[in-house]
Structure 1
Amino acid sequence: MTLEDARVGVVGLGYVGLPLAVEFGRSREVVGFDTNRERVAQLESGYDVTREVAGASLAGARFLSFSADAADLEQCSILIVTVPTPIDGANRPDLRPLLKATETVASVLKAGDIVIYESTVYPGCTEEQCVPVLEAISGLQYNKDFFCGYSPERVNPGDKINTLTRIKKITSGSTPEVAKIIDNLYSSIILAGTYPASAIRVAEAAKVIENAQRDLNIAFVNELSVIFERLGIDTIEVLEAAGSKWNFLPYRPGMVGGHCIGVDPYYLTHKAEEMGYHPQVILAGRRINDNMARYVARKVVQMMLSHKQPILGNRVGILGVTFKENCPDIRNSKVVDLIAELHRWNVETVVVDPWCDSDELYRETGLRLGSISAAEPVDALVVAVGHNEYRSMSPSQLREICPGDGAVLADVKSLYNRHLLAEAGFNVFRL
């Protein structure tokens, strides 16, 4: 096998796997595999429900084929695993999707093949958890018959500027020779270049701390938000003032959801505890960020009561339910937690979101999308997600759908000028 003629199999066609398969599929034979036959059928028809890859880009990957049949992966010499790595209800790593995908890969593994993992894991997971499965099912020996690599994904869903090819890619391999092959493979599509790590464990650790670092920085400004609210100081004004110093980092408070920042730190703390160390700082940041949705909900209730808005019988509109702006992904959305807390106070909510798939939302959360308009107004508003559709709304437009006296507006993402909102008649809360 030479790198030039190696056929690539991408296992998992979500936010990570599909863009990767498309880029490789522009210049080499690629099999995009997913167990979801409906997803495969959609992609074959040229439609990506995640909105990460346009139909024209799918058509441009002329060497890419899609399949839900694992046997089609047998023709591939390089197999890349890009499945989710979530946490369970106790915030412990849930490796079931990763190990299931590994079993699929092992069933088609041949001598000389290379298996590359992109899923976020804790340091050591690839070689401690995945390699034994590959060996047991395939009957092949690691670093003799087959080889592994780790190249962590850095996909930012909804971001049309920092796309796959424009973000530097960390690469690693189980032997120096394989590390070079893997680095050359990714170098063929990554315009921003690659960063070869010295070992798989180093690459795994680098990925998991990227998001842990962001989590801690956001936790810091979230805690500041709680403190400044009690002091009667606007947090954003403080951060903007502090930002006049050249080395002040521009983080903003918010609800940390999604499948990366709100999840990955638990993978690192799990491994640390397994090694006999109980992390302090990382878990403190997680506690702060995990509580922000409940904090926002309680502030909304408090403000409604303080402005003589009855809790029972009034409707609170929730603008946005995905985990981030301009993205249909609802995985680990903290807006769902916010809504659940409002429901515990017997608050009626109406959820709208132009990016969210209604059927998926109901299937995953039990929530249904509703309708808010001048003809169907609400008594309070929570602008929970910074979709462009909401950023473009003026205070007067918001007032049309929330016209009552004493109306409360929680601007979670600080999208609007709070003074203009107040002039429009809103009682404003923002993080």
Structure 2
Amino acid sequence: MSLYEKVVNKEEKIAVIGLGYVGMPIAVAFAKKVNVIGFDLNTQKIEQYNNGIDPTNEVGNEAIRQTTVEFTADATKLQEAKFHIVAVPTPVNADKTPDLSPVEGVSVTIGRNLTKGSIVVYESTVYPGVTEDICIPILEKESGLKCGVDFKVGYSPERINPGDKVHRLENITKIVSGMDKESLEEISKVYELVVEVGVHRASSIKVAEAAKVVENSQRDINIAFMNELAMVFDRMGIDTKDVIEAMNTKWNALKFYPGLVGGHCIGVDPYYFVYEAERLGYHSQIILSGRKINDGMGKFVADAIIKKLILANKVVRQSKVAILGITFKENCPDIRNSKVVDIIKELNEYGVEPIVVDPQAESNDAYNEYGVELVDLNEVRNVDCLVFAVGHDEFKSLNWGQIDEMFVDCDNSEKVIVDVKSILDRVEMDKKGYSYWRL
């Protein structure tokens, strides 16, 4: 009997290691079909899950309460599983080189609890070669087992989009790969249990690893192009959104928009690709240029804020600025690699200490990660400048009266609004006479 059949018959278990925005939804999805162990080193997170709380908002509290996933921080429980799915983060260091310590650490943990006949599938984003050249040797060393004989390995890059309620695990084609034909087939069948639209069988692990970093690098480059256009159009006095709307009337327009590029994927993955390319003697021409542009957008927005304050006859150091949103994207509590923080830091350089509002983010996360104390939206009063940094629904639903009462009592021409996400109506802004700027 194959491992897939044993899993389906609930004779063997699946273990999902790393229960964040990616791992937790995977664990919950598989638990509807088979027996699942959900492992994470973060005991506080495990406690929340066991209490029916979903801090990620990916599946919701009700789904967590109803799931049969066995949430645990006890690594020895991994010995009860035969199919392991690794979904730990892969960030970058301060010098933009890959930080593989999470994936190396989890490989040690799995290796120490690996049993014969197991399959280990990595979902964490890495550059081509990491799974076979770095992870497998660790698994072998810690387990004393031989890869290809005692256990098999595969790679299936995560494609979950945090906060996206349309494109979910079930309806996004899953790339899968295995070290040989047998493991590829087993891994494919297991994922087909939960991925309704099916899987794409990659020809090798390296191909699957490359596909992941390339698909995010492609998006990064396209957004960088739009960001560069936005900076040029700003100098020309042309509204970027108007240009994009006109351009998008053509059937083959790509419909990308300028913005802050943060998060755990698009703002990170290109550096993994560049790192390996440079190690092999090739210096990136396009990808690094795109990264430089996107990493500089926080400063560009901050400079725009300062200019608008000056033009509105404000004393910059005495100005009260409120920033709406700190997460890396709308309607999502994820603050990892948020580029809004770059705006805050740049404003600090001018002596401005902005107040920050985000109803989606966890206050403790914002403070622990960035030293930012979040305030309630209702507390925003007497400001000189409002910065719509993230397009949360809570901000999109604000009416003109609510927006106006946040400002200090003065002429509308002295009320500065910076709209990073272009969520407000420019025509209305002009009619009301606000000092308005959008990316």
**Please, what TM-score do these two structures have when normalized by structure 2?**
0.96
| 1:240 corresponding residue in structure 2 | 245
| 1:68 corresponding residue in structure 2 | 73
- Measure how far apart 1:115 and its partner are: 0.4
Identity %: 47
| 1:386 corresponding residue in structure 2 | 391
| 1:198 corresponding residue in structure 2 | 203
| 1:281 corresponding residue in structure 2 | 286
Matches of 1:398 and 1:51, distance apart in 2: 27
Query: Given the alignment, which residue of 133, 144, 157 partners 1:128?
Result: 133
Alignment of 1:122-161 (within 5 A): 122-161=127-166
- Measure how far apart 1:373 and its partner are: 4.2
| Deviations, residues 106-147 of structure 1 (Å, cap 9, x unaligned) | 001112110000000001110011011011111111111111
| 2:10 corresponding residue in structure 1 | none
Alignment of 1:297-312 (within 5 A): 297-312=302-317
The letter of the residue matching 1:212 is S
The letter of the residue matching 1:134 is L
The letter of the residue matching 1:289 is N
Contact 2:16 2:39 in 1 (8 A): yes
- Measure how far apart 1:374 and its partner are: 7.7
Query: Given the alignment, which residue of 405, 410, 434 partners 1:426?
Result: 434
SS of residue matched to 2:124: coil
- Measure how far apart 1:312 and its partner are: 1.8
Runs of 4 or more, structure 1, over 3 Å off, are 371-375
- Measure how far apart 1:407 and its partner are: 1.2
- Measure how far apart 1:388 and its partner are: 0.3
The letter of the residue matching 1:298 is D
- Measure how far apart 1:304 and its partner are: 0.7
- Measure how far apart 1:58 and its partner are: 2.3
SS of residue matched to 2:53: coil
- Measure how far apart 1:398 and its partner are: 1.4
| 1:31 corresponding residue in structure 2 | 37
| 2:61 corresponding residue in structure 1 | 55
Tell whether 2:413 aligns with 1:396. no
- Measure how far apart 1:172 and its partner are: 0.5
Contact 2:224 2:291 in 1 (8 A): yes
The letter of the residue matching 1:207 is K
Contact 1:372 1:378 in 2 (8 A): no
Contact 1:222 1:288 in 2 (8 A): yes
| 1:414 corresponding residue in structure 2 | 422
- Measure how far apart 1:57 and its partner are: 1.9
- Measure how far apart 1:424 and its partner are: 2.4
Q: 1:372 to 1:25 in 2, by over 3 A?
A: closer
| 1:327 corresponding residue in structure 2 | 332
Contact 1:322 1:329 in 2 (8 A): yes
Q: 1:242 to 1:424 in 2, by over 3 A?
A: same
- Measure how far apart 1:372 and its partner are: 4.9
Tell whether 2:260 aligns with 1:255. yes
| 1:230 corresponding residue in structure 2 | 235
Query: Given the alignment, which residue of 6, 12, 16 partners 1:10?
Result: 16
Query: Given the alignment, which residue of 205, 208, 213 partners 2:213?
Result: 208
| 2:300 corresponding residue in structure 1 | 295
Matches of 2:313 and 2:67, distance apart in 1: 59
Alignment of 1:97-136 (within 5 A): 97-136=102-141
Contact 2:51 2:65 in 1 (8 A): no
Matches of 1:304 and 1:59, distance apart in 2: 49
| 2:168 corresponding residue in structure 1 | 163
The letter of the residue matching 1:407 is K
Contact 2:53 2:65 in 1 (8 A): no
Contact 1:395 1:421 in 2 (8 A): no
- Measure how far apart 1:426 and its partner are: 1.3
Query: Given the alignment, which residue of 91, 103, 108 partners 1:86?
Result: 91
Matches of 2:260 and 2:236, distance apart in 1: 21
- Measure how far apart 1:163 and its partner are: 1.1
Contact 2:39 2:73 in 1 (8 A): yes
The letter of the residue matching 1:154 is R
| 1:269 corresponding residue in structure 2 | 274
- Measure how far apart 1:288 and its partner are: 0.2
Contact 1:149 1:174 in 2 (8 A): yes
Q: How many residue pairs get matched?
A: 430
Matches of 2:257 and 2:56, distance apart in 1: 26
- Measure how far apart 1:306 and its partner are: 1.7
The letter of the residue matching 2:5 is E
- Measure how far apart 1:408 and its partner are: 1.0
- Measure how far apart 1:360 and its partner are: 1.3
Contact 1:116 1:149 in 2 (8 A): yes
Contact 1:395 1:424 in 2 (8 A): no
**Structure 1, unaligned stretches of length 5 or more?**
none
SS of residue matched to 2:6: coil
- Measure how far apart 1:371 and its partner are: 4.1
